[in-house]
Amino acid sequence: MKIEFIDARDLPDAWFQCVYRLLESGSEYKIDRGSYAGQKRLEFDYVTVHIKYPHVRPLLPDIPPSLGIPNPVAEGYLEEYLPYLMTSVKQPGEDYTYGAYLEAQIVEVIRMYKEDGHKTNQAYMTVGEPKAIYLNDPPCLRGIDTRIKDDKLHFIIYFRSWDLWNGFPANLGALQLLKEYMASSIGVADGEIIASSKGLHLYDYVWELAKLRTMCDNPSALASSQCRDKVNET
């Protein structure tokens, strides 16, 4: 297992560094189980991303217009996504929402810090339950740990599986908005994000977009398959 560490200034920087690093050093494999079975992923064995200033705007990736590719997250999506993260309302066909697990825990963590004090390791919010393993697509976000240090609220987050192109910026952008709301409710400043995953990946259908964004025409991790196939075709 190779562990990757990425230090980033803000959310767009974290996304770009992860995309670039994954193209350079990720492992390619074919998915055996799940809704994307049969497709290929490029994935880190394990990655920890430390974001020092996640509050800096914009929260979404920086895509130069000259590249001619769409932003992975549509304008206004974060504001629509936030209720999914904070409330238990489900749409037809949804097995779960993160908010169904988090809504009551958000309230309790705020209460805990305000009434009981900041020096605790118990302000952890869990996503999922044992029977979630039987779902076709169990929750990807599995936990949000919190800490108040230097009068700032910090999030420590774990994803079991994590789509880097679309999910990473949408998830972290919404989680940052949640953290700002909780910090304000508690009466402290906004802090850092440390996010980890053993399944941060790029699906094969976005590899070309990732190469365009990073201007990485022949990334090392793809050289043995996709890029070699292109050479053979010519």
Q: What are the residue ranges of helices labelled H in the chain?
A: 11-25, 77-86, 98-116, 167-186, 207-214, 226-233
Give the Cα separation of 157 and 144 in Å (integer). Answer: 5
d(CA 117, CA 19): 39
Name 180's Cβ contacts closer than 8 Å, sequence gap at least 6. Answer: 55, 190
* Domain containing residue 217: 3-233
Contacts of 168 (CB under 8 A, 6+ apart): 14, 15, 18, 162, 200
Question: Where residue 110 sits, what CATH number does that domain have?
Answer: 3.30.572.10
pLDDT in tens, the chain (234 residues): 999 999 999 999 999 999 999 999 999 999 999 889 999 999 999 999 999 999 999 999 999 999 999 999 999 999 999 989 999 888 887 888 999 999 999 999 999 999 999 999 999 999 999 999 998 899 999 999 999 999 999 999 999 999 999 999 999 999 999 999 999 999 999 999 999 999 999 999 999 999 999 988 778 776 665 443 443 343
Contacts 24+ apart (CB under 8 A), 187-190: 187/114, 188/113, 188/118, 188/148, 188/151, 188/152, 188/153, 189/151, 189/152, 189/153, 190/54, 190/55, 190/152, 190/153
* Burial profile 139-158: b = 16 or more Cβ within 10 angstroms, e = fewer: bbbbbbebbbeeeebbbbbb
Contact 59, 193 (CB under 8 A): no
Domain count, the chain: 1
